[in-house]
Chains A and B, each alone.
Chain A
Amino acid sequence: MIKIAIVDDKRLNRLDRAKELEYNGEIKVIFTSQNGAEFLEKMKETPASSHPEIVLMDIDMPEKNGIDTVRDAKVVYPDIEFLMLTVFDDDEKIFEAVKAGASGYLLKDESSDTIINFIKQVKEFRTVPMSPAIARKALKLLTRTEKAIVADAPKSDLTERELLVLKGLVDGYDHKEIAERLFVSPHTVRNQISSIYKKLHVNGKVDAVKIAIKNNLL
């Protein structure tokens, strides 16, 4: 049983999604919240033993949006994985969410099977596949760091392998096809994708700190 939580401002999405996901008995929805602030409150009230392992997080919500919630929650609960749920694949917002610490994204109109499949992947590999658009943005950001334009950023250069994987993702291949082309196991590619996510998150953290300094939060 994978323990999850659902954060969405649409009641139907919350409740029906929960019912659908729990139907096969592989998923247990610990709680649902209608926005980020409520989610963080509920997390405080919940004992650590019954924390969700994975959270499905809507991006556009009133009070506290999904990106900010992930950014804050990742600091307090680094072990919880966040999957962004969105109606439209707005690359810019998704990429922000990834930098904030999200492990990937899902379209809301995906079937429950697909969503459950994604949840399982995240639980197993701590990552889900990356779309070409996100991969391209990751490539830009991480190679820009490599060129040391962001001088004070933590060292997050891509390894040569990661670079190849990322380029494969940009071209539109999934991890299995990339594994074939690079003559490695799909598992290795998944690990590399996971590593890329982490590096993005590290970069996102730098941005987060910068934003915090700008807003006098530190």
Chain B
Amino acid sequence: MRLNSPSCQITGENFFELKKMKALRLFKKTSAYFSFFLLLLFKSYGQSDSAFKSKLSSIEREKNDTVRINSLFDLALQSKNRDLKEAKIYASRAYHESKSLDQKKIQLKFTADACNILGMIMVVSGLEDSASILFDESLSNNLLLNDPPAIAKSYNNLGNLNYYKGVYNVALSNYLNGLRISEKLKDLKGVARVADNIGNVYYKLNDPKSAIRYHQLSLEKHKLLGDSEGVASNYINIGLGFQKTGEYAKSLSLQKKALAIYTQSKNNLFIAKCYNNIALAYDEMDSIDLALEYYKKSLKINSDANFVSQIGLNQYNIGNIYLQKKDFVNAVKALEASKLIIYESSNLEILKNIYKKLAEANLAVGKHAIAYLNLAKYDSIQSIVMNEEVTSQIAEMQIKYETEKKDDQLKIQKLELETKEKEAVYSKILFIGIVTIILLLFSFFFIRFKSKQKLKDEIDRIEKENVKKRVELETKEKERNRISTELHDNVGSSVSFISSKIDWLIKNRSFNESEKVELLFLKDSSQDVMNRLRETLWTLNNKSISNTDLCDKLKVYLRKYILCTLNITDSLSTECILPNEDVLAIYRCAQEIANNINKHSEAQTVKIEFYSDENTKLKISFLDDGVGFEEENKEDSYGLRNIRNRLKDIGAKLEINSVKGRGTSVTIIYN
């Protein structure tokens, strides 16, 4: 690390380091220099005490408020560089008196000025938070007064403050506000100053290109103003920018230009700075000997003029060069010299590096103990600096956080008021509501509980019944299946075997007539058993039998059984499932009717119609062209009454129409 000397125009540049002193104090406690330092401070305060009192009393005699405040300003500014405490007293007095001025505008104006001055003093005293409040007040006053130059100044002050604090982003926005106003006002001086400051911020933000651009803007204005020292300062800063972008030749020529101007104006401090910066450029260009020569030139001027802090920097840089040249003895010498000075100026960053380099140099010349001590010191400072960095980051965050907090607090306060009013109403409503709801819920649950109990009992009862029914049904079903399987597998095939065996015997063996009749009778009987069995099984087996199934079965039976010509019509237009018992009943009735036709009707043809529609599940009509009968005679006959009763049981009807000699119509109607 090398040291440069930017010519910031920000006032109190050196005081910035005061802040770091807080940290350094920790370090200095262990040091013998500490007591000496305190003594010096104490002495300076003591000296100014009497003079201060006489000045204050002379001012108090002044009756005109504004004149008195103005002289307080003057005093504060005068004493600022000499005695901070005194300056603070003047400035705070001016601030309070300004605040109590009657006329609003004048009050605002003076307060703003007082804020600026007091704020500046606060910055120098390291009380940045107070300074921040003061500068804010100044800015808001100036905004109220609509005084652009003053607003620009306030922005600049805020920018400076934030620059000191190391909050470069905020500083940048402050400066840019200031720059905008100054440009509008065509205030060349203001623009030059702010642009220079912006350049410095960019330099700190490690954006050398932007830094150069703003310094060049400042340079332009300074040239217009004919401010040669300003121009020279811009040259230095632009040069430093190029130093960072690695354009060392450009930097060198600019530093030399600045040197020429300062030589003319005989500004020794800046001549020395220029020499230092030229040396820096040479150093980077690896012209170590030239660099050393210029560092020494700078050192000479600084030593002559006794610019102590600059001497420290020169020695440090010279030490660095010697280290590069591996001339460790001279390096140690230069670094030790720089150490003493830098130690006083409290520049921790540099001090840290000095210790490190000293350790390096001493190690090279074999002084291990000293090297170790230096390294230890380097280490302890390192930790302080680290802490410092973290603290500054925290501070930055805190600023952001607090602005947000302020806004939020305002909103919260407003809301709180509103909610408090509403809360009173709400709590009343809420109370009534809750009581009502509780009552409602209670009664609801009570009723529900009661009805549930009832329902439960009912459900239990039904469930038990259902289970009982189901078990009954299942048992029935099982029994049914068992019987059906038994009939089907064993009885059925045995009977059919008997039947076909008898048939075979009749056909293939010779028997006498009476034997044959007996056998035929046996065959018919077995056939009949088989048919009955088949029909019973049909209704026993099938879970669902439809009206069409029933009719199809009847067709086969009737065709086989009725002896005369049949004319069957199928007019079934709907299909529906019938209960098995009903199916069997209808089937048996149809059989009986067919039997009657065979036995009694003497018909030639029989018309049979099967019919169904939406209203009629099944209608079977038999129309024969036989002899017919007189109803009153036949109605009571056993066969017909039997049929009628059987149909009645299943809710079906039997219609009979007969004309003697013209035939008979019998109809089964099942709905």
User: Nearest CB to that of B494 among chain A residues?
Assistant: A12
User: Which one, B492, B501, B549, contacts A87 given CB within 8 A?
Assistant: B492
**Alpha-carbon distance A109/B558, docked complex (angstroms):** 18
A107–B535 CA distance with the chains assembled, in angstroms: 13
**Complex contact B559–A172 (CB within 8 A):** yes
Q: Is A123 an interface residue (CB 8 A)?
A: no
Q: How distant is the Cα of A60 from the Cα of B492 in the complex, in angstroms?
A: 13
Nearest CB in chain A to that of B526: its residue: A109
B177 touches A (CB below 8 Å): no
Q: Write out, one digit per residue, whether chain A residues 85-104 have a CB within 8 A of any chain B CB (1) or not (0).
A: 00111110000000000000
Q: Which residue of B lies closest to A134 (CB)?
A: B552
Indicate if B555 sits at the interface (CB-CB under 8 A): yes
**Residues of A contacting B556 with CB < 8 Å?**
131-133, 172
Asked if residues A172 and B549 are in contact (CB atoms below 8 Å), the reply is no
Contact present for A88 and B538 (CB under 8 Å): yes
A87 CA to B492 CA, complexed, in Å:
7
CB <8 Å contact, A90 and B541? yes
A108 to B541 Cα, complex, angstroms = 18
Known: A132-B556, A171-B570, A172-B568. A109 touches B488 (CB 8 A): no
Does A111 touch B at the CB level, under 8 Å? yes
The reply to whether A13 and B570 contact each other, CB–CB distance below 8 Å, is no
List A contacts of B616 (CB < 8 A).
none
Which residue of B has the minimal Cβ distance to A107? B496
Is B74 an interface residue when CB atoms closer than 8 A count as contact? no
The complex places the Cα of A173 from the Cα of B555 at a distance, in Å, of 9
User: CB distance A111 to B500 under 8 Å?
Assistant: yes
Q: What CA separation (Å) do A171 and B548 show in the bound complex?
A: 11
Residues 11-28 of chain A: 1 if any B CB is under 8 Å from the residue's CB, otherwise 0?
011001000100100000
Given known A16-B501, A132-B552, A133-B549, contact A108–B570 (CB-CB < 8 A): no
Query: B504 to A109, Cβ gap below 8 A?
Result: no
Partner of A172, one of B492, B548, B555: B555
Across the interface, name the chain A residue whose C-beta is closest to B491.
A87
Q: Are B559 and A87 in contact (CB under 8 A)?
A: no
| Residue pair A23, B508 in contact (C-beta under 8 Å) | yes
Q: Are A133 and B553 in contact (CB under 8 A)?
A: yes
Decide: A113 near B549, CB < 8 A? Known: A12-B497, A88-B488, A172-B568: no
Contact B534 A89 (CB under 8 A): yes
Shortest CB distance A16–B (Å) = 7
> Chain A contacts of B559 at CB under 8 A?
172, 174
Interface string of B452-496 (1 = CB under 8 A from A): 000000000000000000000000000000000000110011011
Q: B496, A87: Cβ atoms under 8 Å?
A: yes
Total contacts A to B, CB within 8 angstroms? 78
Cβ-based interface call for A187 (8 A): no
Interface check A10, CB cutoff 8 A: yes
Output the nearest chain B residue to A21 by Cβ-Cβ distance: B504
Chain B residue contacts of A108, Cβ below 8 A: 493, 496-497, 500
Closest to A92 in B: B542
A73 within 8 A of B: no
Chain A residues whose CB sits within 8 angstroms of the CB of B570 once the complex forms: 167, 170-172
**B523-545 contact mask (Cβ, 8 Å, vs A): 1 or 0:** 00011001000100110010000
B538: which A residues are within 8 A, CB to CB? Answer: 88
Across the interface, do A131 and B492 meet the contact criterion of CB distance under 8 Å? no
Whether a CB of chain A sits under 8 angstroms from the CB of B602 is: no
- In Å, the complex CA distance between A10 and B555 comes to 31
Q: Would B496 and A109 count as touching, CB distance under 8 A? A: yes
Which residues of A are found within 8 Å of B534, using beta-carbon distances?
Answer: 87-89
Q: State which of B503, B541, B551 has its C-beta within 8 Å of the C-beta of A112.
A: B503
Nearest residue (CB) in B for A90 is: B541
Residues of A within 8 A of B489 (CB): 60
Complex interface: chain A residues within 8 A of B530 (CB) = 109
Q: Establish whether residues B492 and A20, one from each chain, have CB atoms under 8 Å apart when the complex forms.
A: no
Assess whether B493 is in contact with A10, with CB atoms less than 8 Å apart.
yes
Q: Do the beta carbons of B552 and A112 come within 8 Å of each other?
A: no
Beta-carbon nearest neighbor of B523 in chain A = A111
Q: Is there a chain B Cβ closer than 8 Å to A136's Cβ?
A: yes
Q: Is A110 an interface residue (CB 8 A)?
A: yes
Looking at chain B's contact residues, the main secondary structure is helix
B537: A residues at CB distance < 8 A: 88
CA distance A89 to B503 in the complex (A): 20
Residues of chain B in range 548-573 having any CB-CB distance to chain A below 8 Å: 548-549, 551-553, 555-556, 558-559, 566, 568-570
User: B111 contacts the other chain (Cβ, under 8 Å)?
Assistant: no
A12 to B504 CA separation, bound complex (whole angstroms): 14
Could you give, for residues 51-83 of chain A, a 1 whenever the CB lies within 8 Å of some chain B CB and a 0 otherwise? Answer: 000000000100000000000000000000000
Q: CB-CB contacts of A171-182 with B at 8 A, as 1s and 0s?
A: 111100000000
Q: Does B160 contact A (CB under 8 A)?
A: no
Q: Which residues of B contact A109 (CB under 8 A)?
A: 495-496, 499-500, 526-527, 530
In the bound assembly, the distance between CA atoms of A137 and B507 in angstroms comes to 36
Report yes or no: B493 in contact with A87, Cβ–Cβ below 8 A. yes
A107-122 toward B: CB 8 Å interface, digit per residue (1/0)? 1111111000000000
Binary interface encoding of chain B residues 409-424 relative to chain A, with 1 for a CB under 8 A from any of its CBs, else 0: 0000000000000000
> Among A87, A112, A136, A171, which residue has its beta carbon within 8 angstroms of that of B568?
A171
Chain B, Cβ-Cβ closest to A108: B496
Cβ A136 vs Cβ B492 within 8 A: no
Q: Give bound CA distance, A23 to B548, whole Å.
A: 40
Chain B residues with CB under 8 A of A167? 570
Q: How far is the CA of A172 from the CA of B497 in the complex (A)?
A: 27
Contacts of B501 in A (CB 8 A): 16
Pair A20/B552 contact, Cβ less than 8 Å = no
Q: Which residues of B contact A174 (CB under 8 A)?
A: 559
- Give B343-398 interface residues, CB cut-off 8 Å to A: none
B504 contacts across to A, CB distance below 8 A = 20, 23, 111-112
User: Could you tell me the distance between the alpha carbons of A107 and B499 in the complex, rounded to whole angstroms?
Assistant: 12
Please give, as numbers and ranges, the residues of chain B lying within 8 Å of A10 by CB-CB distance: 493
- CB contacts (< 8 Å) of A173 on chain B: these are 568
CB pair A136–B507 under 8 Å, yes or no, is no
| Given known A-B contacts A89-B534, A170-B552, A110 and B500 have beta carbons under 8 A apart | yes
The answer to whether A88 and B492 touch across the interface, beta carbons within 8 angstroms, is: yes
Cβ of A56 to closest chain B Cβ, rounded Å: 13
Q: How far is the CA of A20 from the CA of B555 in the complex (A)?
A: 30
Decide: B552 and A133 in contact? CB cutoff 8 A: yes
Bound Cα distance from A112 to B503, whole angstroms: 8
Chain B, Cβ-Cβ closest to A132? B552
Q: How far is the CA of A167 from the CA of B568 in the complex (A)?
A: 12
B558's nearest neighbour on chain A, judged by CB, is A172
Of listed B493, B541, B548, B566, residue having the most chain A CB within 10 A:
B493
Residues from chain A with a CB closer than 8 A to the CB of B493 are 10, 13, 87, 108
Q: Give every chain A residue within 8 A of B503 (Cβ-Cβ).
A: 111-113
Q: Which residues of A contact B (CB under 8 A)?
A: 10, 12-13, 16, 20, 23, 60, 87-91, 107-113, 131-133, 136, 167, 170-174
9 closest Cβ pairs, A-B complex: A172-B555, A109-B496, A133-B552, A132-B552, A111-B503, A87-B492, A108-B496, A109-B499, A132-B555
Show 19 A/B contacts (Cβ-Cβ < 8 Å), sorted by A: A10-B493, A12-B497, A20-B504, A87-B488, A87-B496, A88-B488, A88-B492, A109-B496, A109-B526, A109-B530, A111-B503, A111-B507, A113-B503, A132-B552, A132-B556, A133-B549, A136-B552, A171-B568, A172-B570
- For the complex with contacts A132-B556, A172-B555, 5 further pairs of A-B residues with Cβ separation under 8 Å are A90-B541, A109-B530, A112-B507, A133-B553, A171-B570
